Structure 1
C-alpha cells in the first residue's frame, strides 16, 4: 500500500507561483537527500497532480509518495518547510493512497536537454570527423523548445541557476526501486490520482 502527503503552494500578489516552486522544491530536495536509508536509497517519490505538458505547468500542488508511511514521516516536511507554512504553503497530513481514485501509475523523470544535445553532438562528430565541441555548436538548446514544465533552481554547490525539466509518462505498477534526490525515477512508478 502506498502513502502520500500533499503540499499546496499558495502564491500571493507579491510572491509568484514560480518563485514558490523554486524555494519550496529546494527544501524538498534537501529533505529527500536527508532521508536516504543505510544503503543510500531514497524511498519517497514526487508527483504533480496538476501536471500539464500542453500548458507547460506543474500547477500548485506537489505530492510526495512512498510505499510505507514511515518513509514520509522520516522526511519531516514540517521542519523542512517551516519558513513557508502557513503563509505560502499548506502541508496536508499523510494518508493512504485512495485505491478508488487511482487512475493508474506514472513515472516522473528529469529531462535534460543539454544531455540530449551532447549525445547528438557526439554522434555527429563521429560521423563527420570533427571535434565534439564543434559539433555541440551545431545543436543549440533553446529553452522554449523543451516541451516539459520546469522549476528554476540554483545549484547548492556552484550557485548556478538551472531548469529542472520534469517529464511524466504513464506506466505499469512495478516494485519500487527508489528515487533520485529530486524524487524522480526512470523505473519506479507512483500511483497517479
Structure 2
C-alpha cells in the first residue's frame, strides 16, 4: 500500500517566439536551484521530479513538470512561486500542492540522468585494459553514444564552469521504495515516485 505523497505541477506555456526547449532550460535551472536550497536538516533533498508526458519513442518531456514529495511541507519548502517568479504567469503556470490521487496511480517510476559519454568512456577503458591497448585506440571502437541517445533531454549550463551540457532523462518502472532523497536535479536511482 502506497504511503501518502503530495505533488505540485508546473505547466510550461511556449509562445510563437519562445520554444518549449528554451523554456525547459530556463525552468529547470530554477528548479535545480530550488531543490539545492530545499535540503532538510540532514542535507537530503526530499522532492523528486516526474514528467507525466514523457516519451522516449518520440523523445519528449511534454509541457508538464511534476514535483513530488512524501510531505506537503517538502513541496512548500521548495517555494516554486518564488523560484519561478520571472517566468510566471506568462511562460509557466504553477498549480497548487495536492495529494497524489491514489486511485489514478499506475505504479512507481524512477527518473535518472543518463550519461552517454560516461557509458562509452567506461566501455573503452575496460576494453583497453582487457586487450592491453591504449585508451585512445579503444575509444575508436566505442564512439560517443550521444548522437544515438533516444532519451529526451534538457540543455543546461553548469553553474560552476559554464559548460553547456545535455541532461538526458531516463524513465524506468520501479517498485515503491521509502524516500531516500533525490539528486540536485530531482532524480534518483533508488527513490521512486508515484506514476499517474
Counting matched residue pairs gives: 193
CA RMSD in angstroms, aligned pairs only = 1.0
Deviations 1:63-109 (A, max 9, x none): 00000000000001111000000000000000000011111110001
Match of 1:29 in 2: 32
Determine if the alignment matches structure 1 residue 140 to structure 2 residue 116: no
Match of 2:169 in 1: 166
Which stretches in structure 1 are left out of the alignment for 5+ residues?
Answer: none
The farther-off stretch of 124-133 and 25-34 is: 124-133
CA distance in 2, matches of 1:180, 1:107: 12
Contact 2:117–2:146 (8 Å) recurs in 1: no
Aligned-partner SS, 1:123: helix
Residue from 48, 61, 66 that aligns with 1:63: 66
TM-score between the two structures when normalised by the length of structure 2: 0.96
Match of 1:118 in 2: 121
Residue from 105, 109, 114 that aligns with 2:112: 109
Which stretches in structure 2 are left out of the alignment for 5+ residues?
Answer: none
CA distance in 2, matches of 1:160, 1:82: 25
Structure 1 residue 142 displacement after superposition: 4.4
Match of 1:81 in 2: 84
The farther-off stretch of 166-175 and 42-51 is: 166-175
CA distance in 2, matches of 1:137, 1:64: 41
Contact 2:12–2:23 (8 Å) recurs in 1: yes
Determine if the alignment matches structure 1 residue 19 to structure 2 residue 19: no
Structure 1 residue 134 displacement after superposition: 3.5
Aligned-partner SS, 1:63: strand
Match of 2:134 in 1: 131
The farther-off stretch of 14-23 and 119-128 is: 119-128
CA distance in 2, matches of 1:132, 1:181: 32
CA distance in 2, matches of 1:131, 1:40: 41
Deviations 1:124-161 (A, max 9, x none): 11122122244224322243310211001011111111
Aligned-partner SS, 1:118: helix
Contact 2:69–2:75 (8 Å) recurs in 1: yes
Match of 1:182 in 2: 185
